[in-house]
Structure 1
Amino acid sequence: MLDQVWQALAATGYGVVSALVPIFNAEAYAAVAGAAGSWPTALVAVLGLALGQTTGKLIIYEAAGRGGKWWGQRFARGAEKERDGSKGRRWWDRAVVELARPRTATPLLVAAGVAGVPPLAMLALAAGVAGTNRVLFVAVCFAGRAVRFGLCAFGVGVWFD
């Protein structure tokens, strides 16, 4: 029991770090947990990673929500360097508009959480600026990440059992 508590804490911590520093790959962690451990161990890792990633993305969401003007100005400066309607600026504007509406925010966040397209880190920034409902963001982010890491852990685990 105590061993699983430590595993859950380690997976959660790794999930937070991987949400903030993309070089740390949470999918690889889940795949190794699925291949090396038992089903309960892999499930603990999956849920810990999902909780950690959600916490990390919530940090990004909150930072963007509090500094939304700064992010908007940063993207605007990048657009001015290229041209007024740059692709990055158009994407940002569209994401902020769509994430402001729960009807379109939910499928966007599900796609980002499960498939990683569009990148969840960028959507967390845009969702914070757009003022997406925090409870919706957390719930969809956790569920999407749990599905993604579950597929990584149990998909690999099936092949190596």
Structure 2
Amino acid sequence: MIAGYATTLLVGALSAVLPVTPVEPYVIAVVTTTGDAAWLVGTVAGAGQTAGELIVFLAVRGTLRSVWIRGRLTRAEGASRSATPAPPGRFRRWTTAATARLDRPRQAAAVLFTSAVTGLPPLLLTSAYAARTPMSAAVFSATCLTGRTIRFTLVASAPGLLHALHLV
């Protein structure tokens, strides 16, 4: 039993950093073959995904704060400014305004939560973007865990719900 939950935690963490290994089919299989509670399997898978996404979040944040990387990016940005044309004015204003809103922790947390529950935008990309915002690792983790637990619990419950409704 403990080994099963440890494996679910590991599969969740692995799927966070390797998107080609989705955890959703795994949680469905665990619930249907073992009879474990969907909320428990969903919570453990959510914790694993949160651990993996937290590693991504912290790695990107550390990279962005690296003095060496920042120096390289600044030099590359200066060189590319003269080589590429600026986007049209209206698009540039819209992009700047949208990015400014997402840089606020409350809006970034809402986008992260939506991504964690629905998968849109992909959580891996959202985690990387959130790393550049002032969002704390604790808020990131709590938001990600809550959203992923909801998602995986619903997914793990789906076969039982379909059976209860006599749809299968």
TM-score (norm 1): 0.78
Matched, 1:123 2:120: no
Matched, 1:27 2:24: yes
Q: 1:137 aligns with which of 136, 140, 144?
A: 140
Instruction: Decide which structure has greater helix share.
Output: 1
The letter for the 2-side match of 1:142 is L
8 Å CA contact 1:99, 1:126 repeated in 2? no
Offset of 1:131 from its aligned partner? 3.1
**Structure (1 or 2) with the larger CA radius of gyration:** 2
The letter for the 2-side match of 1:26 is V
Matches within 5 A, 1:1-161: 3=1, 5-40=2-37, 42-68=38-64, 70=69, 73=73, 84-85=86-87, 97-160=100-163
Offset of 1:107 from its aligned partner? 1.3
Cα distance in 2 for partners of 1:147, 1:92 equals 31
8 Å CA contact 1:65, 1:131 repeated in 2? no
Cα RMSD (Å): 3.2
User: Gaps spanning 5+ residues in structure 2: where?
Assistant: none
Change (3 A) 1:114 1:91: farther
TM-score (norm 2): 0.75
8 Å CA contact 1:19, 1:53 repeated in 2? yes
Equivalent pairs: percent with the same residue? 26
Residues 34-89 of structure 1, C-alpha deviations (whole Å, 9 max, x = no match)? 3323243x33321111001000000000011011165994xx7xx98986549xxx
Aligned residues: 152
